[in-house]
Amino acid sequence: MPEKVQKTDAEWRATLSPDEYHILREAGTERPWSGEYVETKTVGVYRCRACGAELFRSDTKFDSHCGWPSFWSPLAEDRVRLLEDRSLGTTRVEVRCAACDSHLGHVFEGEGYGTPTDLRYCINSISLTLEPDEAQPGR
């Protein structure tokens, strides 16, 4: 399991931008097509913007045409925590960072994208930081 990261609300506010705080700590959603990683193909690892935990790899990212970065699997199952979300009058499954419990997005199932898992982890760009592989010599 990734090491747990715990901070107070004031500490999160001090380390995150207002937009990051709203999405990550208040479970906000960025506008579709507004995020910086929607169509990114760069090879690398996506880390949690809040705590730096490695969450997704670029090789599970796919074109969902939904306006948010979409992955068919997390880097490892223990990297994310799934919670039932009954807001907006529907039942969805919220995806949070397992290390710091920040909001990442939602996961949807059985949409027919033809990916190996038939899952779509629909993640806010602002919840992620892409670390391109070139930046890690020796890996």
Using CB under 5 A as the criterion, which residues of the chain lie in contact with Zn ion when the complex forms? 48, 50-51, 53, 97, 99-100, 102
Q: Which is nearer to Zn ion, 27 or 48 (CB)?
A: 48
Q: Which is nearer to Zn ion, 38 or 99 (CB)?
A: 99
Q: Which is nearer to Zn ion, 80 or 119 (CB)?
A: 80
Q: How far is the CB of 15 from Zn ion (least distance, A)?
A: 12
SS3 letters across the chain: CCCCCCCCHHHHHHHCCHHHHHHHHHCCCCCCCCCCCCCCCCCEEEEECCCCCEEEEHHHEECCCCCCCEECCCCCHHHEEEEEECHHHCCEEEEEECCCCCEEEEEEECCCCCCCCCEEEEECHHHEEEEEHHHCCCC
Q: How far is the CB of 12 from Zn ion (least distance, A)?
A: 11
Question: Is 97 a known active-site residue?
Answer: no
- Active site amino acids: 122
